[in-house]
Structure 1
Amino acid sequence: MTEANGAAPEAAPQIKMQVLAQFVRDMSFENMVAQKGLQSGDVQPDIQVQVSLDARKRPADHQYEVITKFKVTSKNKVGTETLFLLELDYGGIFHVENVPEDQMHPFLLIECPRLLFPFVRRIISDVTRDGGFPPLNIDTVDFLALYRQELARRAEAQKAAAQQPLAN
């Protein structure tokens, strides 16, 4: 298809993304079973995984840092005592070009964590195994759904704030 002047339509520039580095920014694992001497006879673990994300521009051109934060809590269904607690902040430094400015925020909080996730899953599996528990292979995280939930939460918070009467 050609435009009226006979020139071919200009293609959008190709998105360029490169992972420059990955790193554990912070990690903690607490084995409550060992610390408190809990009996492992009647253990029915209930695993809860909380995920949060953070992204920021770095001083270098086209570079961004994305941090995925995982908090994994295992509680016993029988006695509700905590069996273990794992907190992991895992980051990546990305070089990103040709993403429109209005799409950069979702790109950083959806696509970048998607690339980091297999490494996070492996670390969580290894740490739980090395900590004396069966290796925990967490379910795949839907970062698009997570992003949409955060947008909805922020919209609700802004709506609630706008409805608050101003103090005199």
Structure 2
Amino acid sequence: MSDTPTDGAPGGTPEGANGAAAGTQQPQVKMQVLGQYIRDMSFENVVAQKGVQGEVQPDIKVQVNLDAKKRSAEHQYEVITKFTVESRNKSDGAALFLMELEYGGIFHVENVPDNQLHPFLMIECPRMLFPFVRRIVSDVSRDGGFPPLNLDNVDFLQIYRQELARRAEAQKQGGAGAESGSTDA
């Protein structure tokens, strides 16, 4: 007789095991943030440099690019999120400020199937970094003489899907796709 309780499920397997033996479950995904850092950052206060006359109504545009690569250590990956934040005056299109931020994270990732690793790195890892990026953008815009800019949440899944669609279209047209994703948020 088996030591595995059956709870009355057909086939002698515990309920919820989907017919798989209890000992053959997929190992749990392990992700650990090993480090975070600003790789590059610039902030240009155009208002202070050139001066803007009249009423200012900012129009903010945010562009997001993603990149990921394997590091030499086993199960370690570097993920870079690149944010370009541009503020222009709605009335005349004059630039108010421009901020570029490349924020990176080093991740230890285990037990993710190979076919799911790329989306994991391009969706889940940037999602983990985003609160820190938001804080940096807010602090730098405030310290640059503007009201703090609180970035809206970024849908990294949508960015990933857009990049897949862009690559598929480029492949149809005979071109090769890039390794990073990009979108306007």
Q: TM-score, normalised by structure 1?
A: 0.91
**What residue identity is the alignment partner of 2:92?**
G
**1:38-74 superposed Cα distances (whole Å, 9 cap, x missing partner):** 22x3101000000010000000000000000000000
Q: 5+ unaligned residues in a row in structure 2: which ranges?
A: 1-12, 176-185
- Flag the structure with larger Rg: 2
* Corresponding residue for residue 19 of structure 1: 33
Summarize the Cα distance change of 1:42–1:97 in structure 2 as closer, same or farther, 3 Å threshold. same
Q: 1:161 offset after TM fit, Å?
A: 1.6
- Following the alignment from structure 2 to structure 1, what is the Cα–Cα distance between the partners of residues 152 and 140? 16
Alpha-carbon distance between aligned partners in 2 of 1:8 and 1:140, rounded to the nearest angstrom: 39
Aligned equivalent of 2:58: 45
- Residue 83 in 1 paired to residue 102 in 2? no
1:34 alignment partner in structure 2: 48
CA distance in 2: counterparts of 1:132 and 1:98, whole angstroms: 46
Where do residues 1-168 of structure 1 align in structure 2 (5 Å cutoff)? 1=13, 8=22, 10-39=24-53, 41-161=54-174
Q: Secondary structure at the match of 2:102?
A: strand
CA distance in 1, matches of 2:149, 2:137: 7
Distance 1:46 1:35 in 2: 19
C-alpha distance in structure 1 between counterparts of 2:170 and 2:87, whole Å? 30
5+ long unaligned stretches in structure 1 = 163-168
Quote the offset at 1:37 in angstroms: 1.8
Q: What is the deviation of 1:8? A: 3.1
Structure 1 residues 97 and 83: alpha-carbon distance in aligned structure 2, compared to 1, 3 A threshold: same
Aligned partners of 2:139 and 2:117: how far apart in 1? Answer: 33
Tell me, in whole angstroms, the C-alpha distance in 2 between the residues paired with 1:58 and 1:20: 12
Cα distance in 2, alignment partners of residues 71 and 10 from structure 1:
46
- Cα RMSD, aligned residues only: 1.6
Total equivalences in the alignment: 159
- Secondary structure, counterpart of 1:116 in structure 2: helix
CA shift in 2, pair 1:32/1:7, >3 Å: closer
| Deviation of the 1:160 alpha carbon | 1.2
Change over 3 Å in CA distance of 1:148–1:7 after alignment to 2: closer
- Residue identity in the other structure for 2:96: L
SS at match of 1:56: strand
2:138 aligned partner, one-letter code: S
Q: Percent identity?
A: 72
